[in-house]
Amino acid sequence: MNVIRMMNDMKMKKKLAITFISAAVLPLLLSGLLLTGKLRSIVIQDASAQVGANVERVRKRTEELIQVPLDISYRLTTDNALKRVAGQKYENNLEVIQAYRGYTDIRDYLQTYKELSGIRVYTVNPGALDNWEFIQATDRILAQDWYQEAIEQKGLAGWNLIQDERLGVDELSLIRSFPLDVPGRTGVLVISVDERQLHAILEQESFQTLIVDNRNRIVASNEADVFGKNLSDIHANANILSREEGSYDASINGKASKVVIAHLEPENSWNGLRVISIFSVSEITRDANNVIRLGVVVISASLLFAVLLIYASASLLSRRLFRLSHHMSKVGTGAWETYLHIDGKDEIGLLARRFNALVKSVTQLIEEVQETNRQKSLVEQRQNEIKFKMLASQINPHFLFNALESIRMESHIRKQDDIAQAVWLLSMLLRSSLEAGNGNIALRKELEWVRCYLEIQKFRYEERLDYRLQVEPQLEEMPIPPLIIQPLVENAIVHGLDNRAEGAVIEVEAKRVPNGVLIKVADNGAGMPADRLARVREELAAAVEDQEGQRIGLRNVNDRLVLLYGASSALRIESDPGSGTSIAFYIPEAIRDDQSPDRG
């Protein structure tokens, strides 16, 4: 953001100079970056390939090394003499010593194979003795995870870092259970791999190389200080701790690094080992970085030379742009009648002509916006007039509601339920009038207000008034302006029922018609003569203010419909003397779908 702000504050001459310089130097810059980036990528790829080959070599050599204890474990676990010595019941220590001396296979294997550092057989045999070859499985040993895993895997080999009781050090060991001669008893064979042989495999590697078991414990490393530690203690990267095989990027100690992992899965084993090699990208890209720095020096020198040549050219163009900026400033002060004249058919000349066209278009747009705002203000004025006329007498609405509620409760106490119901309906109607805003409401809500008003009038006129509200169910949530139907119903009662002794029926109907919805309020009251009907239609069409002082007049409803939906939605009045009057209006489909009711 600071760079953008600095560029915006910079003079046009300098900005153009920087633009041209960037255009001239960009190919050179891209070429340098491409070449140096390619060089760096090749270096990393070669190093990755080399490390991958090294890891594969370590994996194969380690596999050859652990194949020795794996083969010997096959022989020992099928050796009946071993099973007999480990499992038989001894009467005294002399029998134990004689049996141990008579079985020499373990000592022979240790002397023959330099890959091994120890062979131990763990059994639960109360009469046996410990001689570092046959070891009594104590409760501590029985509770070890490796011992329990060996028993559970039933003859499969496992590889874990286990402490040699004789030497007191941890060693990579093969673990395998086998049945003894005694039914139901099992022994566990542990063959330790010589640590020196493992380290001899890794010490030739130039990058950090580790061999870890399935618990992420380091069983071998070309760095002696990490042997025996958990991998999470020195490398917290999740990719390294996972068991995925392959080559990928990682962040080690805050440095970009490459990690190569190979799995070692010995045959007939329930777990395996992983060979991990880690190298820092910065170490192998040192030469490539030197080339990149040299490229930066060359590019900087080229940029400095370009500044001297291009700055003069930028000055020529900046003068014409300054004229354009000056005229824009005049327009900013409100001088829309300004006209800019710049010679030339280049981009600056085209920009000047576009500027003139823009000024003209903005002037027209301002006029349209002003007209729209005037229409919107007029709609709000009509709406506010309705609310004002309906609530002019309600100086303190809360006091009025409380008073009505007191009257209603008193009517209930005196068993005047019809009066209580009428007071409650009046209270609801007044409250809904106060809550009506300038936004649209659902047709369902408007009809609730109409029903309250009709029930109040029905309380007044009793059997002389009846009404029917007919609306299609799918239109109940249709958005309409508030207080748009109730004034029509009030007009029907005032001009239809009061002049008809036998009463009247008020019908409110909302139904879907092509491309919109038709809402009609009709009565079978006294109707209007032709001259009166013509005068009403003329007053609505002439758009004059309602001068009769009514609370809600047809004039206000008609104006709001025309302002919101256009002339096609104006009130349509039909009336015959003695037959009644119907008032209808139309809401277009496109406008109705774009509006939503105000549920506040």
Q: Decide: 255 and 282 in contact? Cβ < 8 Å.
A: yes
For CATH 3.30.565.10, list the domain ranges present in the chain.
436-594
Task: Using alpha carbons only, give the angle 395, 396, 402 rounded to the nearest 5 degrees.
Answer: 140
Q: What is the pLDDT along the chain (600 residues), one digit of tens a residue?
A: 677 777 667 666 666 667 766 666 667 667 767 777 777 677 777 777 777 788 888 889 888 998 999 999 999 988 888 888 888 888 888 888 888 888 888 889 989 999 898 899 998 888 777 788 888 888 888 898 899 999 999 889 999 888 887 777 888 999 999 998 878 788 999 999 988 888 888 888 878 888 888 888 888 888 878 888 887 777 766 666 666 777 777 777 777 777 888 888 888 888 888 888 887 777 666 666 676 777 677 777 776 777 677 777 667 666 667 666 667 777 666 666 666 666 666 666 777 777 777 777 877 787 788 888 887 777 777 776 666 555 544 444 544 555 565 566 656 666 666 676 666 667 666 666 655 556 788 999 889 888 888 888 887 777 788 899 999 999 999 999 888 898 898 888 887 776 666 778 899 999 999 889 999 999 888 888 889 888 888 888 875 444 444 444 788 888 888 888 888 889 999 998 888 899 999 999 755 544 444 443
CB atoms within 10 A of CB 500: 17
The Cα 415–Cα 518 span in angstroms is 43
First to last CA, the chain: 41
Q: Which residue has the tokens 């559970």?
A: 152
CB atoms within 10 A of CB 507: 18
Fold of 436-594: Heat Shock Protein 90 (3.30.565)
CB atoms within 10 A of CB 122: 24
Beta strand spans in 149-297 (E): 158-164, 169-179, 186-193, 208-212, 218-221, 246-252, 255-264, 273-280
Residues β-bridged to residue 505: 466
Give this prediction's pTM: 0.46
Q: Decide: 588 and 480 in contact? Cβ < 8 Å.
A: no
Cα distances from 17 to residues 11, 31, 134, 303, 314, in angstroms, run: 10, 22, 88, 11, 5
Residues 6 or more apart in contact with residue 168 via CB below 8 angstroms: none
Q: What is the largest CA-CA distance in the chain?
A: 140
Residue 399 is predicted with a pLDDT of: 45
Alpha helices in 392-506 (DSSP H): 397-413, 417-435, 443-461, 486-492
Domain 47-284 has CATH 3.40.50.300: no
The Cα 359–Cα 300 span in angstroms is 43
Q: Give 497's DSSP letter.
A: I
Q: Decide: 217 and 230 in contact? Cβ < 8 Å.
A: yes
Beta strand spans in 268-412 (E): 273-280
Long-range CB contact pairs, 238-246, < 8 A, 24+: 240/276, 240/278, 241/216, 243/214, 243/274, 245/274
Q: Taken in order 32, 37, 38, 42, is the CA torsion positive or negative?
A: positive
